[in-house]
Chains A and B, each alone.
Chain A
Amino acid sequence: MKPFEYRRIHTVEEIGHDDPGQARFLAGGTNLIDLMKHEIEVPDRLLDISRLKLATLKDCENGGLRVDTLVTNTALASDPRVRKTWPLLSAALLSGATAQLRNRATTGGNLLQRTRCYYFYDTARPCNKRNPGEGCSAREGQNRIHAILGASDQCIATHPSDMAVALVALEATLTLRAADGRERELPVEELHRLPGDHPEQDTVLEPGELIVAVTLPAPQPGRQIYRKVRDRSSYAFALISVGVILQVVEGRVESVRIAFGGVAHKPWRARKAEAALLNKAPTEANFRLAAEAELVDARGYGHNDFKIPLARRTLIATLRDAAHSEEEVPT
């Protein structure tokens, strides 16, 4: 670990103008500290935000829920309101990591965790995400867990969060605070970037900008299902995950939202699939057309070729489950 300066802050106002740049926020530390030990992350300064009073869940007037950034994954997944109204989010959280990690990991931190690409973790190997311009070792290396959508020549890494997939499907919004105190709102869907020519930038956050809260809007009516496919049944990142909210009225798809995990550098909102399904009958054939519409541009890099059929099959199976379920989430 490279020596660094550590400062604990108690109010957001203590975030100074000199902090942007090489400062990093420390919350649960479940990913950042590991990366610092490997000297993959080498911040000059850590601002410990874990004592900020940002760990509550608040009902919003419009039926939504505001989740402060320091709410732990465990607290969020087990909140009765979340379990009842946004079960997709609860299921996604509980499918991730382990109980010990979820107890420690925070909402904001979960969104900002970094890829698990093997080459990102191995400092002896070229990696554009770690050292821009070095090259990508994964394209022609071990890439079983890598992206099939939206990758670039520079990077084929995936974003590992399950929670983020659910938040994108639920159209959650972030409240961000810049170092100078200005606040702005940003849909979660717009937080993460595709790698393009700058895979070192995971998100669109400005230096020093802090995620203050995530707001869940009142959900679309419909059945919510999170399906995660992985090599072992727990403590494994998704090969493919799908979050679906499907409402069928009188034999037609009234509304649908779909997001994939494990396929791209960001949680992947499947708008093409949604458009293909809207107003159509919830049949196996239509599910297939929807999946194919979304995956038309998908490509594999060898070991991960199977993810394309797996994504298609998983989406069809999840839509089938959602359509056949009689139970609908009360709104």
Chain B
Amino acid sequence: MTNPAAIGQPLDRVDGPLKVTGRATYAAEHAFDQPPLIGWMVEATIPAGRIKRLDTGAAEASPGVAAVLTHHNAPAQTPFGEPDDKGRFTQSRAMLFDEHIRYHGFPVALVIADTLANARHAGALIEISYEPDEEAVTTAGEEADEVPGELDGGMEPDLFKGDFEHAYDDAEVTLDVTYTTPNQAAAAMEPHATIADFDGDQLVVYMSVQLIGPSVKALANTLKIDPDKVRVLSPYIGGGFGSKLGVHNEAILACLGALHLGRPVKVVQHRRHVFHNAPHRGNSVQRIQLGASRDGKLQAIGHESFMPMARGYEFAEPTGASARTTYRTDAIKSTHRVKSTDMPLADSCRAPGHAIGSLAFESAIDEMAYQCGQDPLAFRLGNMPDRDPGTGQPFASHDLAECLREGAEKFGWPSREPQPGSRSQGRQLIGYGVASTIRLNILVPSKTRIRLSADGTLTAWADMTDIGTGTYTILTQIAAETMGLSADRIKIELGDSRYPSSSGSGGSFGAASSGSALLNACENMRTRLLESAREQGLIGDEPADDARFENGQLILGDKTLSFTEVLNKSGAAYLETDGEVEPGDDHDNYSQHSYGAQFAEVHVDRDTGEVRVQRLLGVFSAGRILNPKTARSQLLGGMVWGLSYALLEELMLDERYGAFMNRDLAEYHLPVNRDMPTIDIHFREHPDPRSNPLGSKGIGELSICGAGAAVANAVYHATGVRVRDFPITLDKILRHLPE
């Protein structure tokens, strides 16, 4: 009988009951005998400049206030951004360091009081005057001309293949269009939150963070303390989406407060804080040039990306990734330019690169299909690559064409009217759209340790995090299958910097990396058990490969031994093994991606321009599916976000102040239930042995790539209106619809 907890089974989340009963402890919820003091962040109201005068007298005298921390009295720190030869996740993130304001919303004080209400009110009593920098840069567009050091994920900023200019000039059909995407927020449900506490002379930091190891280094570096004196815990995270990869502002502030007062301090960002005090995705301008033969063969692909970069904070998004990897072509020109701005930090947000890159690029590909007089599906299928167009590497595996074909059939694509704007029902214009989906498949070094106890239970430890994706569950399944144990015998311990160093969560690499390390640890445990059994004379010299591990037992030849028997006989209370994974040659030599094809049906109201998505369908190829239930949930979320990027999300920037004005979830529009259509998800499941020992591939960011373009392309098909300025709000359609 199949182990119901085996890999590939739709095991319910092992942490589900804890979460739905409120017993999963999120960062702000850790309980203490003495409740921690509460810190309230006071934000700068200019984009750049310096603090001229800061009067905290009234705040300090306000009821319940324990301290008001400013750059005058905050503990010593390493200057922001140092050491500059280190990555952004371990550099100093100093706060309240000097009178310098980095961006609108930058913390200028932390009020620490007995209650949130007292802290917040005292915050309003602080009087600050500024000397604004009149040269503050609060916008970025096509004028961006700085070449970033490298792109997120390690890609080169510029890629040139073949002779783009000639290929483009010689092409029979050409397209030269510019798309824009707005500033966007990760908008995790759990706001960024931290409690800083002490255990003896160790700083114990409960925070909501995706990468634990780098956070320890960043805190130690910033606060000028020994990394051994910092412990970070992050057992549960209410969504991160890149905005919690590294330490964020409230974490530094909570630590400064705790160090200053010698008492635990909790700082939870207010929802309005999060929009400036957690990283966001910068706006992009994407110029796309395509050249093709009259029969629809792509010959030249040009993609120029222009985005902001927060001054002193190196992060450049690989917006051209989709253009470099999706279609066969003779020539590619892909460049990335950034502009230093005095804006809040821009960093990873929901599939950096591909998410907004595919939004623009897959829309432009759609335009080109129409220009060539081809069905957008047929055009895509006619341009499938046989090796990575950008790098020339062979694909580890590639079934984008199969995803497109299978999806088209399931969606009913052939019933589509070729002519845009030709189908309607009452006052609703109906359109179908398609887009290719592609996302980098990454493996990063990861370690884990497991212990098999004499009572037959297994515990695994890693400083891995579960950001709500189901990591606890799939790790349980990997251990269950490999060791032949039921789920209730397995305990996965994550989110503590005392545990072995893991990949952490991000870049869709968490399951593959931490899972492969656990698989390795379990394989090592099987070897240890066999050795132990042999040493005790419990088994003979049968080849180890014949051994099976089932129901908490080791089965070899005619012997069936429970793990407990083996351990008891050896006198060991437990056995421990380590596991690890490192990306090898297959990641150097092959182009590694997950794939998919997405289809959308939209209705557009011909009177008001309102777009309502009627259905979304995706077919995805992401190697071996570890748990179809949690995998599906992740893909569902990504498709909703794709819809959201196409139609809704935009941080409204007021350039005069360098501030986002819609800093709440009433006005920063994420889809509500009623916006979400029927969503149909299918897997093409082919384990990819070049990906990692599990054969899985990254899935967390896959479906957001392409979903938005499928919606945008459906809007075009419904109306004949091509909106190149995302999101496609009704006003942008309305002006082109006849009355």
A310 located at the interface, meaning its Cβ lies under 8 Å from any Cβ of chain B in the complex: yes
Q: Does residue B117 face the partner (Cβ distance < 8 Å to A)?
A: yes
Q: Would you call A234 an interface residue if the criterion is a C-beta within 8 Å of the partner chain's C-beta atoms?
A: yes
- The smallest beta-carbon distance between A143 and chain B, in angstroms, is 10
Contacting pair A1 B671 (CB below 8 A): no
Chain A residue at smallest Cβ distance from B731: A306
- Which B residues lie within 8 Å of A2 (CB)? 121, 124
8 Å CB interface, A292-327 against B? 306, 309-310, 312-314, 316-317
- Is A144 an interface residue when CB atoms closer than 8 A count as contact? yes
Q: Check if A83 is an interface residue, CB within 8 A of chain B.
A: no
Q: Which residue of A lies closest to B124 (CB)?
A: A39
A5 at the interface (CB under 8 A from B): no
Tell whether, in the assembled complex, residue A141 and residue B654 are in contact, meaning their CB atoms are under 8 Å apart.
yes
Main secondary structure of the interface of B (DSSP, over half): loop
Stretch from B169-177, B316-324, B606-614 that touches the partner: B606-614
Judged by a CB distance under 8 angstroms, whether B84 is at the interface is no
CA distance A144 to B663 in the complex (A): 15
Partner of A317, one of B124, B608, B661: B608
Residue of A nearest to B672 (CB): A234
Interface string of B115-136 (1 = CB under 8 A from A): 0010011001000000000000
Q: Which residue from chain A places its CB closest to the CB of B104 in the assembled complex?
A: A124
Enumerate chain B residues within 8 angstroms of A153, measured Cβ to Cβ. Answer: none
Residues of B within 8 A of A316 (CB): 607, 739
B608 adjacent to A314 (CB under 8 Å): yes
List, in ascending order, chain A residues with CB within 8 A of B652's CB.
118, 142, 144
Question: Chain A contacts of B627 at CB under 8 A?
Answer: none
Q: Which residue of B lies closest to A144 (CB)?
A: B652
Which B718-739 residues sit within 8 Å CB-CB of chain A? 729-731, 734-735, 739
Q: How many residues of B contact A (CB 8 A)?
A: 38
In the complex, what residue of chain B is closest to A313 when comparing beta carbons? B607
Q: Contacts A3-B121, A39-B124 known; A231 to B607 CB distance under 8 Å? A: no
Using CB atoms, name the residue of chain B closest to A237. B666
Residue of A3, A118, A239, A240 touching B667 (CB-CB under 8 A):
A118
Asked if B608 and A235 sit within 8 Å, CB to CB, the answer is no
Contact A310 B45 (CB under 8 A): no
**Within the complex, which residue of B427, B664, B735 is in contact with A306, where a contact is CB–CB below 8 Å?**
B735
Are B667 and A232 touching (Cβ within 8 A)? no
| Residues of chain A lying within 8 A (CB to CB) of residue B653 | 142
Question: Given A1-B117, A141-B654, are A119 and B673 neighbors across the interface (CB < 8 Å)?
Answer: no
Residues of A within 8 A of B730 (CB): 229, 231, 239, 306, 310
CB of A231 within 8 A of CB of B672, answer: no
Is B699 part of the contact surface with A, judged by Cβ < 8 Å?
no
Which of A124, A137, A317 lies in contact with B607, CB distance below 8 A? A317
* Residue A125 CB within 8 A of the other chain: yes
Chain A interface (Cβ within 8 Å of chain B)? 1-3, 37, 39, 116, 118-119, 121-122, 124-125, 137, 140-142, 144-145, 229-237, 239-240, 288, 306, 309-310, 312-314, 316-317
- Show 26 A/B contacts (Cβ-Cβ < 8 Å), sorted by A: A1-B120, A1-B121, A2-B124, A39-B124, A116-B666, A118-B652, A118-B667, A122-B663, A124-B659, A142-B652, A145-B667, A229-B608, A229-B730, A232-B669, A232-B671, A232-B672, A232-B675, A233-B612, A236-B669, A306-B730, A306-B731, A306-B734, A306-B735, A309-B734, A310-B730, A314-B608
